[in-house]
């Protein structure tokens, strides 16, 4: 499992937003991300980051493209 401390600054921003908000749809997550970072990456890159966070078991992606949501995996 990957540690949160090893994430890139942009991946960490996405993770922190989800940790604070709980569950978000893509549009809301992208908007919050763009407000939080100085030089936001493209939507495609953000999607890649989110897939990577899911591979690291840090977040869960549910739904299909139309009803997708992102949720942080709760840690004990």
Give the pLDDT score at 74.
67
**Does residue 32 belong to any structural domain of this protein?**
yes
Q: Please report, in tens digits, the pLDDT of each residue of the chain (76 residues total).
A: 568 889 999 999 999 999 999 899 999 999 999 999 999 999 999 999 999 999 999 999 999 878 899 999 865 4
Give how many domains the chain has, as a whole number: 1
Q: What is the pLDDT of residue 76?
A: 43
Determine contact, residues 2/49, Cβ cutoff 8 Å. no
In a domain, 1, yes or no: no
The predicted model scores a pTM of 0.90
Q: What CATH number does residue 31 fall under? A: 1.10.10.10
Structural domain containing residue 64: 7-72
Res 65: pLDDT: 79
> In this structure, is residue 2 part of a structural domain?
no
Structural domain includes residue 44: yes
């Amino acid at each position: 499992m990957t540690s949160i401390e090893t994430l890139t600054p942009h991946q960490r921003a996405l993770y922190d937003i989800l940790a604070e908000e709980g569950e978000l749809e893509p549009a809301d997550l992208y908007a919050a991300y763009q407000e939080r970072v100085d030089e936001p990456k493209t939507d495609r890159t953000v999607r890649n980051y989110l897939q990577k966070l899911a591979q690291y078991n840090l977040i869960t992606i549910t739904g299909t493209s139309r009803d997708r949501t992102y949720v942080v995996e709760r840690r004990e």
